[in-house]
A and B are shown apart, each in its own frame.
Chain A
Amino acid sequence: MKFSVAKSELLQALQSVLSVVPTRTTLQVLSNILLETDNTKGVGKLRLAATDLDTFVIKTLPVNVKKLGNITIPAKVFADIVREAPETEIEVSSTDTRVEIKFGKGVYKISGLPKDDFPKLPQVNLAKQIKINGADLTNLIRKTIFGVSTDETRPALNGVLWRTKGDRMEMVATDGHRLAKISLINKKLKGMHEDVIIPPKVLNLLTRFIGEEEYDVGIIFGENNIIFSLEDVILSSRLIEGPYPNFEQVIPKDNDKKLVADIESLTSTVRRVAILSNTLTHQVKFGLKRGAGASGGSLELSSVNFDLGGEAKETIPCEYTGEDMEIGYNANYVLDVLKQMEGEKVTFELSTSVSAGIIYSVPQKEGEEYLCLLMPLRLVE
């Protein structure tokens, strides 16, 4: 294999794959990255691939290919050499087990391992891909991923569920205390009916790669993996073994008490009151008082911290027409949810002080249905 490329381009490409190279592993080859040159249709390309066995990142960049071939070399060392190299053209050539990196008058050699030792790259069949708007995808991910559980005893909850229902696509994440569910209209996804559970790691990477750019992301659903194809990056991840628990049945249908508050003032108040909350439970008490008419209700937020001898209390106006009620929440959970809410007002649909409440914002974005479920903390009298 032999190719040459400008340092800055190679370094940039390397940095995008480096993030998945595991720092500790029992398979030596995983600390390597795969370099492979390709010359189809006369366009010289270099493929860089790295994996930690759960996630694959494959990056292609245009280079001047002089000889076809492939090899894997220690990722960190290679990246260090390229990083410290001067801003010039870098030439990389390899024999079966050794790589030679040349720039200016410097020659650096490291040994590598053959491609066969490297885990098989995911097969990317672009004909099967379904295109989804990148912004839509990041929206889906951002609004659910915070709810993913880290509890090892329930592995299915350690990922985000992605499913299609009619012409809507749905993403759900829950850890048993809270649940986030979003659905968007997407007619292209109609053919796909299998539920997949995606580890959060690849989704975080994906949002990072998509960034602020506006383009479509190709998605291929494999039997054991899911592949995201971006312009010059391919991400793939193993899926989590299902089945996902039936979450629909925990979403209450007949919560009759409705609280509407201003998102901004509620967020800042919760954040303030939470300072003096119990450091373990982060409990903030929501005291709801009925108003005379549609508006005019009041929401009293309070917290107690016995260790500090601290107490906080603050009241904000809200719309509330149900019976007076007190309900406790983990402030962090409330803030996580409020952070994702768009629009001006947020609605809490509640039933009792020990049952799940539904939270959503008004007005919702067009074509989008987003709701969060939050379990209250039991208040100790």
Chain B
Amino acid sequence: MIDFENIVDQELVKKILSGALKKDKLAHAYLFYGEQGVGKWAMGLELAKAVNCENKKIIPCQKCNICKKISRLIHPDVRLIFPLPPLEGKSESQKEAEKQKLIRNLKEIKTSDTYATLRFFKKTTISVDEIREMKNHLNLKPNEGKKKVVIIKDIENLSYSGANSMLKVLEEPPGDSLLILTTKSVDRLLLTIVSRCQLLKFSLIPKDFIKGELEKRLKLSSKKASFIANISKGSLGKAIYLAQKEGPLAQKKAKDFLKLCFENDFSETIDFVEKVSKEYTREEVLELIDGCILVFKDLSSISFGCFFSEAEKKEKLKDKDLELLRTFFKSFSQIVIGIREAEKTKRAIEQNVGVDLALLAFLIKLKDKKELMVK
């Protein structure tokens, strides 16, 4: 029996993969795509276990030596490739040491919870060397397992030349190999990569599941869990991150951020943006903008007077910050423009536009009433 018990939701993916496993018709390469924190990596590991597990009754058994080794990310036949930020060491050996340390840290995070998200301050890449070593690994027969598995996280970080260099192996991997690529956006990949893999979409996880997982994994109270589940936008990884992070949550931060920008004059806004762009990581800024979108959503709920529940209505109407922000965003079209600009800014930052410039542009657009009126 095939049981992916460690995977939250994703019934369709589970069904497809267990069907393929049963009939021994697994594809040689899979491309798992979907939002961050919905279980792509976790599924990759479970699949690696499933093809290598020694148990006959329940696969993956999680109990045999092989499953345990894969869980701890130390199985010699399961090669894991992470995107890494630029290395800062001066000499090659320093760089190598830094890389080892980084990978160890990443592995630690991923072993503590397979759904944990990795966060970087800088733009990350997957080096061509990594792909070369992967190819060497695949060209030899497996060590102790039955199949050699390679899991590449966030393949969109792979350079153009790196992607091209792996086309051959991706099309026709040497015997007993399984390649699993994960990505947030298929659109950013070379078509030649995408066409060589079987695509599996990972959908967003329903709130109730996230709530349940938060209660189970992090022993959160039901109230807090449901609050975080609500703002995590279907990503368990994000929910775990938000739950583990102390202090004000993204939405609260976003409210403060918007308030500050609208209450004060422009020079102060510039100072503030500068501060944010220095102190926040890229991921955190993206979260902040996500928070802004949620705030806009609340504002629109208020302006239309429609809510999911009475409790929500009470809570939202009582919120002083929202009330204040409503004075700046009076019409629905203004709110819509706000959301649209926020999405644009997010995309810009993901495409490596400087955080300070992107944020500033975002705020100018929001504040520029004239433009808002015209649109």
Contacts and interface: CB of A to CB of B under 8 A. Distances in A.
Contact of B143 (A24, A119, A158, A240): A119
B174 A53 contact: no
A120 B143 contact: yes
B104 A241 contact: no
Q: Is the interface of A mostly helix, strand, loop or mixed?
A: loop
A27 B138 CA distance: 17
B135 A152 contact: yes
Given A24-B96, A117-B74, A53 B104 contact: no
Interface string A345-376: 00000000000000000000000000000000
A54 B140 contact: yes
Contact of A241 (B72, B141, B143): B141
B131 to A, nearest CB: 11
Most buried by A among B132, B141, B168, B176: B141
A224 B142 contact: yes
Contact of B139 (A119, A120, A224, A240): A240
Given A116-B65, A241-B175, A26 B100 contact: yes
Interface residues of A, number: 24
Interface in A147-191: 152-153, 155, 158
B144 interface: yes
A238 interface: yes
B76 interface: yes
A152 B136 contact: yes
Given A153-B168, A238-B143, A53 B96 contact: no
Interface in A21-71: 24-29, 53-54
Contact of A158 (B96, B137, B139, B175): B139
A199 interface: yes
A152 B174 contact: no
A120 B144 contact: yes
B231 interface: no
A119 to B, nearest CB: 4
A239 interface: yes
Interface in A105-132: 116-117, 119-120
Nearest to B130: A26
B302 interface: no
B103 interface: yes
A182 B136 CA distance: 27
Contacts of A332: none
A240 B142 CA distance: 10
Contacts of B103: 26
A262 B108 CA distance: 65
Nearest to B107: A26
A155 B96 CA distance: 26
Contacts of A241: 138-141, 174-176
B141 A238 contact: yes
A225 interface: yes
Given A26-B100, A54-B140, A238-B141, A155 B174 contact: yes
A36 B174 CA distance: 35
A66 to B, nearest CB: 28
Interface in B114-130: none
Contact of B100 (A24, A199, A238): A24
A381 B72 CA distance: 63
Contacts of A25: 100
B78 to A, nearest CB: 10
Contact of B74 (A24, A27, A199, A238): A27
Contacts of A28: 100, 104
Nearest to A158: B139
Contacts of B139: 155, 158, 240-241
Contacts of A54: 140
Most buried by B among A53, A117, A158, A199: A53
A152 B100 CA distance: 25
Contacts of A238: 140-143
Contact of B141 (A116, A153, A158, A239): A239
Given A24-B100, A53-B137, 11 more contacts: A28-B104, A29-B74, A53-B143, A54-B140, A152-B132, A152-B136, A158-B139, A223-B141, A238-B143, A240-B141, A241-B141
17 contacts: A27-B74, A27-B76, A29-B74, A53-B137, A54-B140, A119-B76, A119-B143, A119-B144, A152-B136, A158-B139, A238-B142, A238-B143, A239-B141, A240-B140, A241-B138, A241-B139, A241-B174
Interface of B: 65, 68-69, 72, 74, 76, 80, 96, 100, 103-104, 132, 135-144, 168, 174-176
Q: Which 8 A-B pairs have the closest CB atoms?
A: A224-B141, A155-B139, A241-B174, A238-B140, A120-B144, A119-B76, A239-B141, A53-B76
